Amino acid sequence: MFSKFGQIMGLLIVAGSLQISAFAGGGLMGKLRTRNNKPVLVNLNKATSGTTILSGSRIQCPEKIGATVDLGPLGRLDIAPKADLTLNFAPGEIKVQLNSGYVVLTTYKGIAGTVTTSEGTAFATDPSKLSSVVARTRDAEGPETSVLVGAGAGGLGAGGTAGVAGAGAAAVGGATAATSGRGSDLSTDNPRKP
């Protein structure tokens, strides 16, 4: 039979072990930002701006509500309304399983990013530089042609372009000579809106 002191010490040791393993695992977390702080679903629970996003989270945006997940040193994910996805990330990589909808994934140099659609089509960012891919499922509402994307605050830099990755379309990323920026409004109703 343990004394109260022994029980408390045991709990402190277990809590310390969990904290150490969290730091050893990289401790990477994302931060959610939603349009006008309106809720989206994260793991089937309502979530608004400021919610911490862990790897493995399922994110579902309702009609007319877009979101952005800032992944710090990895990059970020812009999510269009009516999108449904699972987001996984670890040091050096971001993986998105896009069940439905439309997303823009931006990764920094040295980070491998992939978006795999429900149809099995995979699109990847270029880890040799700052780059983005735009991916959508066949049933998603959205453009059928190339669009400009960019973010003055942490995404694709001034003048970045990306192709729409839809049914059979190729995705491209990287800095080019076009001019576009998203400024600080990262979570518009449409993630490609300048």
7 domain-assigned = no
- Among residues 132, 118, 47, which one has the least CA distance to residue 84? 118
Compute the distance between CA of residue 174 and CA of residue 129 in angstroms, rounded to an integer: 7
77 domain-assigned = yes
Compute the distance between CA of residue 100 and CA of residue 116 in angstroms, rounded to an integer: 11
42 domain-assigned = yes
Structure confidence at residue 177 (pLDDT)? 26
Structure confidence at residue 86 (pLDDT)? 98
57 domain-assigned = yes
Q: What is the pLDDT of residues 80-117, one digit of tens each?
A: 999 999 999 999 999 999 999 999 999 999 999 999 99
134 domain-assigned = yes
Q: Is 152 or 118 the better-scoring residue by pLDDT?
A: 118
Q: What is the pLDDT of residues 142-164, one digit of tens each?
A: 544 233 333 323 333 333 333 33
184 domain-assigned = no
Domains identified in the chain, total number = 1
Backbone torsions φ then ψ of 131, nearest 5 degrees: -155, 165
User: Residue 92 is part of which domain span?
Assistant: 28-165
Query: Burial of 115 by CB count in 10 Å (0-12 exposed, 13-18 middle, 19+ buried)?
Result: buried
CA distances from 7 to 15, 17, 18, 19, 21 (A): 12, 15, 17, 18, 21
173 domain-assigned = no
19 domain-assigned = no
pLDDT of 39 > 90? The answer is: yes
